[in-house]
Structure 1
C-alpha cells in the first residue's frame, strides 16, 4: 500500500529551519517541503535553493489556511511555540514544534488539550529519540547489559555570549536549560523509562534573566542523576549510564554527526571496551519520517507531548529552585 507524502509547511524562516530541518524534510521519504511562511521573500529563497518549487506565504495565517498543507513545523522563538502550535491544530494541521515545546508545564497542558480536541498529532521536535544510538542505549539497559543502574550523569555545553542571540534574551524564552537542558533531562527519562522522585539540588547562574549555567541533581527510583548545562563554556556533550556490571557512555549524544561521530561505548568489569558507531544517520530525517508514519499509518510516535511535559516539569523545578 502506498501513502501520499506529507506536505509540510514551515512557520517562519529561522536559520535552523533553513540549514537543518528544511533540508531534513526535503530529504525524508514520504515528505514534501511545500511552503514557508515569512514576510521576507529573500529568506524563503534560501529554502528554494535546495527545495525548488517551495511556495512562499507572506503570513503565518496564510500558511495555516492553505488546504494543501498537512503538517506544520514551528521553529519560532520559544515563547511563541504553544500559541502557534494551538493555532495550527485549530486549523486542522498536525504540528511538530521545536524544543522546548512550551515555557512551563501549564502551557503544555493547553497544547495537549488542543491536540486532543483536534484529534491530530502534535509533538516536540526532540530528535534524539529517533537516533539508533539512543534506541540502542535504551535496549542495552533494558536487557541488563550493564546490570542494575546506579548513577547517570550528563553534560551539554557551548559558548555563546552574543546578547543579540535569542538564546540570551529572557523575553523570548532564552537560556541554557530551555535550549539544551531538554537533552540531558529528557535523555535519562527516555533510556530508563522513569520519572524523578525528587529534585535533590539545583545551582543556577543567571545573566540578565537568562540561565547561563545549571548544575542539577535528581533522585530516581534506584539510581541518582547529575547533569549540567552551560552556554558560557567550551563545547562538550556526553551521557554516562553507570551500572553494577558496566558503564555505558554516549560520546556524542545530542548533535550526532556535527559535534562528532555518534558512538556508544560499553566498558565492562573485565576491562574490555566495546564501541558501537553510528556514522551516517541523520536524526532529523529520522524524526520527519517517524512523524509522517504516525500521521499516515497511526504508528506510535516515540516522543508524545506527555513525554515533553515530563522534561518540562524537571526544568521548571530547577529554574524555580536555582
Structure 2
C-alpha cells in the first residue's frame, strides 16, 4: 500500500518540532506538503522532508489531488473553519486540540465528517500512548479497588505576550491548551462523565492563566489544577480504596520526563512500576489515524469523545463566571 500523503496547514513551531516529524517518521505515512507564506519557516520542515512541496496558500494545498490527509496546527479560533474546509476538499483531517471552541461546534464537524466519508479527529495524542491503556486496564481489573479520587496537575510557565496562548481573540488560555488533557485523560480511563463541576479561574483579558477545578463523577471526586503561570509540573493519580496509581509524565512523555506508571496497593509494601522510555506518542497517533482512515480500524478518540471534554471546558468557564 502506498504511503498516506500528508499536508500541514501552517508552519507552527510545534508542527516543525513534533507533529510534522512524527508524520514523516510514522510507518506508512509521508509528509508531502506544507502551506505557509514564510519561505524561512518552510526550510525547517524541508530539512527532514527534502521532497516537501510548499504552497503559499492554504486553499491551494487543500486543492492538491495528491494529498490524502491534512494536519492543522493553526490557532484555536481557526480550527473549525479549516477542518470544515479540509473535509469539503475530500481530505482526512487531524486537527490540534481543542478542535472546537464550544461543544455546540461539534455538530457541524460531525455532520461534515459523515457527509465527506472521511476521518476527522482531534489530535489528542495521549490516548495512543500505551501508558494510558495500561492505566485503563489496571482500573478495570480492580488493581486499586473502587476508585474514589482523581487528582491531577498540569502546569507550565509561559508569560510571553507574543505566544498565541497569551493573545486575546485567539482562543488561548490554559484550559483550552492543557485542560483538555486533565479532563480528557480522566474521561478516557474511567469512561465516566462529571455530574457536578466547580471552578476558580484567574483571567488575563479573555483567557485563563490559572484554573482549579473540582468535580463530582459517579462514585469518585475529581480535582485538577491547570496553569500557564506555574513552574512546569504534571501528574495524574487515581486513588482507590485498595491502592493508587500515578502517571508521572502523563501528558508530555519523553519531553517532560520518561513515561512511568507506579502502582501501590495497601496490602503490599511494594510499588510496581511500568516504564516506556522509547515510545513516541505522536508517531503512535499518526499510525493509528492512518489505520483508521484507510482500514476502518477503531479510533481511540473520535469527535464524539472530544466533544465530552469540550463540554467540561465549557462548564468550567461557566462555573468560573466567564461567559
Distance 1:162 1:32 in 2: 33
Q: CA deviation at 1:4?
A: 1.9
Superposed, 1:33-48 pairs within 5 Å as 33-48=31-46
Superposed, 1:19-30 pairs within 5 Å as 19-30=17-28
Distance 1:295 1:164 in 2: 36
Tell me the equivalent position of 1:65. Answer: 63
Aligned match for 1:90, one of 51, 65, 88:
88
Tell me the equivalent position of 1:181. Answer: 179
Q: CA deviation at 1:170?
A: 2.6
Q: CA deviation at 1:117?
A: 1.1
Structure 1 SS opposite 2:269: coil
Tell me the equivalent position of 2:201. Answer: 204
**Runs of 4 or more off by more than 4 Å in structure 1?**
none
Distance 2:301 2:133 in 1: 12
Q: Structure 1 length as normaliser, TM-score?
A: 0.98
Tell me the equivalent position of 2:237. Answer: 240
Q: CA deviation at 1:154?
A: 0.5
Distance 1:46 1:150 in 2: 47
Structure 2 SS opposite 1:142: helix
Structure 1 SS opposite 2:233: strand
Superposed, 1:108-257 pairs within 5 Å as 108-199=106-197, 201-257=198-254
Q: CA deviation at 1:296?
A: 1.2
What is the aligned-residue RMSD (CA, Å)? 0.7
Distance 1:216 1:129 in 2: 22
The answer on 1:260 being equivalent to 2:257 is yes
Distance 2:5 2:269 in 1: 51
Distance 2:194 2:2 in 1: 41
Distance 1:313 1:290 in 2: 25
Structure 1 SS opposite 2:169: helix
Distance 2:319 2:168 in 1: 18
Structure 2 SS opposite 1:32: strand
Question: Gapped runs of 5+ residues in structure 1?
Answer: none
Question: Gapped runs of 5+ residues in structure 2?
Answer: none
Deviations 1:85-120 (A, max 9, x none): 000000000100000111011112211111111111
Distance 2:55 2:228 in 1: 34
Tell me the equivalent position of 1:305. Answer: 303
Q: CA deviation at 1:275?
A: 1.0
Distance 2:185 2:69 in 1: 26
Distance 2:227 2:219 in 1: 27
Q: CA deviation at 1:271?
A: 2.4
Q: CA deviation at 1:212?
A: 0.3
Tell me the equivalent position of 2:276. Answer: 278
Tell me the equivalent position of 1:315. Answer: 313
Report the count of equivalent residues. 319
